[in-house]
Amino acid sequence: MAYFTTSDGKRLYYEDAGTGQPLLCLAGLTRNCRDFSFLAPHVADLRMISMDYRGRGKSDFDADYMNYNILREGQDAVELLDHLGLENVTLLGTSRGGLVAMALATSHPDRLAGVILNDVGPVIELGSIAKIMGYVGNRPTSKTYDDAAHALGVMMESQFPGVSLDIWRQQVENQYIQTDTGLELRYDPALRNALIEQAANTPTPDLWPLFDALHDIPTSVIRGANSDLLSTATVQEMHARHPKLISTEVPDRGHVPFLNELQSLDLIHQILDAT
């Protein structure tokens, strides 16, 4: 296990495997390095680096939960690159990780050789925000991995038709910790407080300027065909504003694709070949 210490004293966990071209993987809002376990077997020729944000996975929780924000998380990612002695990397950002990537395009564009956005863009659909707030910070009602896998499979069937129970079992193991009293979150429940207070204290931000900062950086976007977070209209506008943008749509996937799909892998390698 590997850790580094941030400029404000937090001990953050990261994984660094392989010796090829560096790919920094940043996970979704409540997720961790395990978010990329489905991708890892398909990129053995790369140097795959992933980080648990503060308050997630094996990283330190932050007593000031307002530090759970994309600017601080982006700074943590830059400090990880400094720790590893890497001048720049291609950044693969799933959901929240894609927002971090766009923020870094404004503050540290020199650190981004390329960007891959996994089912996220500068417009987050309101229905998806409500769905996220329905679960963030709450322990699952299921008491075991098996029960949680079954419940997740039923809930996600419309967006992810045909996905096996084994896959959902792996997903819930990635997201929760089995204890004697049931399943615990692999992140700080105070993340919910951060989201609520940030929304109350600041107007809804316009994320298009962040996306526009990617104009000179090789960029691509993966969209799950059944996504409720990233719309086709947003992807079309992204193409209009970034003429060199590469995109793909993954059938039978919602938010978010697992990244082991043929379409996802082809797009990831297109960007890596361009950087």
Q: Rounded mean pLDDT of the chain?
A: 96
Residue 259 token pair: 């990244």
Instruction: Taking residues 133-145, report their average pLDDT.
Output: 92
The gap from C-alpha 87 to its chain's centroid, in whole angstroms, comes to 22
Q: What is the pLDDT of residue 204?
A: 82
Q: What is the pLDDT of residue 191?
A: 97
Distances from the Cα of 155 to the Cα of 96, 192, 225, angstroms = 22, 22, 17
Q: Is the pLDDT of residue 97 over 90?
A: yes
- Tell me whether residue 179 is exposed, middle or buried, using C-beta atoms within 10 angstroms of its C-beta: 0 to 12, 13 to 18, 19 or more: exposed
Closest residue by Cα to residue 12 from 70, 76, 65: 76
Give the pLDDT confidence of 45-73 residue by residue, as tens digits: 999 999 999 999 999 999 999 999 999 99
At residue 239 the predicted structure's pLDDT band, cuts being 50, 70 and 90, is: very high
Q: What is the pLDDT of residue 218?
A: 97
Find the Cα–Cα–Cα–Cα dihedral 55, 165, 252, 137, rounded to 10°.
-20
Give the pLDDT confidence of 154-189 residue by residue, as tens digits: 999 999 999 999 999 999 999 999 999 999 999 999
At residue 36 the predicted structure's pLDDT band, cuts being 50, 70 and 90, is: very high
Task: Report the relative pairing of strands 22-26 and 47-51 from DSSP bridges.
Answer: parallel
Q: Is the pLDDT of residue 13 over 90?
A: yes
Residue 14 near residue 24 (C-beta atoms within 8 A): no
Distances from the Cα of 214 to the Cα of 142, 254, 265, angstroms = 41, 25, 21
Residue 190 near residue 137 (C-beta atoms within 8 A): yes
Instruction: Taking residues 128-147, report their average pLDDT.
Output: 92
Instruction: Taking residues 34-50, report their average pLDDT.
Output: 96
Confidence (pTM): 0.96
Q: What is the pLDDT of residue 206?
A: 92
Give the pLDDT confidence of 183-209 residue by residue, as tens digits: 999 999 999 999 999 988 888 889 999
